[in-house]
Structure 1
Amino acid sequence: MSIEPRTVTLATSDHGDVTLPEPAWCAGCSHHDPETQRADLIQVGPPVECIYLGRELLAAEILQSL
């Protein structure tokens, strides 16, 4: 098992390619728009739903602004 931190490289409109650490809970960056500015980069965790009697009451995600 590697102890190196995971990283992701994302294209930005104002700083070019930016390499960032990627937490284990991050669901990936498939939604990334290359026209995003570096200040607007976020990491998103997978959605978690709260269901009661077969009906969704709420959903939540972990977000981290970079």
Structure 2
Amino acid sequence: MEALAITIFLSVLLAAFFMVLFLGSRHRRGLGNEQEALMPLEDDLPPVRPGRAAKTHAADRHGS
């Protein structure tokens, strides 16, 4: 009976330890590897709205 109690106690202790480590690593990083892989690169230009790009190119063609 004592062996079963010690086994359960150690199992709960190890599970709690790994949960603390897991949550600590998630909190520290902020994003998971999958989300970080989908982030745009720093060197990319910000997206341009189609309406603004068309007006800019039209103004360049007319010499304004």
TM-score, L = length of structure 1: 0.20
| TM-score computed with the length of structure 2 as normaliser | 0.20
Q: Which has the higher strand share?
A: 1
Larger radius of gyration: 2
Structure having the higher helix fraction is 2
Using CA pairs under 8 Å that are at least 6 residues apart, name the structure with larger relative contact order, 1 or 2: 1
